[in-house]
Amino acid sequence: MSAETTIPAGADLLEEIERLRKERNAVILAHYYQKPELQDLADFVGDSLELSRKAAETDAEVIAFCGVKFMADTAKILSPEKIVVLPDLDAGCSLEDSCPPEKFKAFREAHPDHIALTYINCSTEVKALSDIIVTSSSAETILQQIPKDQPIIFGPDRHLGGYLSRKFNREMLLWPGVCIVHEAFSETELLKLKAQHPDAPIAAHPECPPTILDHADHVGSTSSILNFAKSFPGDTLIVATEPHIIHQMEKALPDKTFIGAPGADGNCNCNICPYMALNTMEKLYACLRDLEPRIEIEEGLRLKAKASLDRMLEMAGSTVGKGDLGNRS
């Protein structure tokens, strides 16, 4: 869902975006899974935690969020006085879709002694039903602060939950959601690729299934994978996350080789996030021009969701990823 995206005859799209950014006093935030041209014009590029922090602290009047809806919702929850626009309102997330609020509520009610530790990839309603939000870069620090005898529900990503559970030897009740992008990687094809590049380490996002994570030399958030790319001693890295992140790696390390992990046919585009891909330069231009599609959240719901996000921001401490390759700030 997006507005008419045509720019005036003879106008230059980049110049128009630049003009509107200034006129609107707007900050453009982009996730690492966005198209390279959107990453390159953003004021700040980051992982989910870094982007949440930027959204909370910016003094811009408008936040144009090049990411998916739960990220723009988070920006609005943390900065209600700002106008938050998303280039395409249909940019959702399979994890959010997997966790309808009424089912999550019933699940919580069935386990009243459990707290809900919830991945940020969920709706505002599910955030409001949760105790603490985590991102992939803050989850480990936060989990370690929860008393060992406190039972936990973790949702909606069963792979991130399973990874944390194995790493910290901690049982958690897992919601059965998955990211369709990370689920698409193939263990068989990954092993074939590894056989061709035996010295190349594998860096994987914890949204991958255990069949992929078992082969990884490094597991972490997008910013943590970027840090690993900057520090590993070799010259080739296999990257098991959404492949648009490779843009930042190639910019920072032009002499190294980064290979996206394959899907089931060995060479598919199935691990490009179809939701992130909905955002385009033209739609960014249109949303800055029209200040639509705009994120609106009812105040009572916002305050409930903010409580669980604030807990994350407090408990995450300085766990901000060092993958800040932001362009301007």
Residues forming contacts to ligand SF4 in the complex (CB under 6 A) are 33, 68, 93-95, 121, 179-181, 207, 242, 273, 275-276
Phi-psi region of 25 (alpha: psi -120 to 50; beta: other; left: phi over 0): left
Residue 243 DSSP symbol: G
Q: Residue type at 17?
A: I
How far apart are CB 215 and ligand 13P at their closest, in Å? 19
Q: Which residues of 297-317 are buried (b: 16+ CB within 10 A; e: fewer)?
A: beeeebebbbbbbebbbebbe
Q: Where are the alpha helices (DSSP H) in the chain?
A: 13-23, 36-41, 48-57, 69-78, 94-97, 101-110, 124-128, 139-143, 158-167, 180-183, 187-196, 210-213, 222-231, 246-252, 281-290, 299-315
Task: Name the one range near ligand 13P by CB under 6 A: 11-19, 132-140, 164-172, 252-260.
Answer: 132-140
In the complex with ligand SF4, which residue's Cβ is closer, 5 or 279?
A: 279
H/E element holding 26? strand 26-31
47 binds, among ligand SF4, ligand 13P, none (CB under 5 to 8 A by kind): ligand 13P
**CA quadruple 78, 80, 82, 87: dihedral, nearest 10:** 70
Task: Name the one range near ligand 13P by CB under 6 A: 36-44, 135-143, 162-170, 257-265.
Answer: 135-143
Q: Per-residue string for binding with ligand 13P, 210-249, x by CB under 6 A?
A: -----------xx---------------------------
Q: Which two tokens stand for residue 119?
A: 């991945």
5 binds, among ligand SF4, ligand 13P, none (CB under 5 to 8 A by kind): none
Cα–Cα dist 307/128, whole Å: 8
Determine, following the binding rule CB under 6 A, whether residue 121 of this chain makes contact with ligand 13P.
yes
The Cα-based distances of 100 to 95, 107, 221 in angstroms read 10, 11, 25
In the complex with ligand 13P, which residue's Cβ is closer, 43 or 207?
A: 207
Q: Per-residue string for binding with ligand 13P, 56-95, x by CB under 6 A?
A: ----------------------------------------
Task: Name the one range near ligand 13P by CB under 6 A: 97-105, 134-142, 251-259, 295-303.
Answer: 134-142
How far apart are CB 112 and ligand SF4 at their closest, in Å? 29
Interface contacts to ligand 13P, rule CB under 6 A: 47-48, 121, 135-137, 179, 207, 221-222
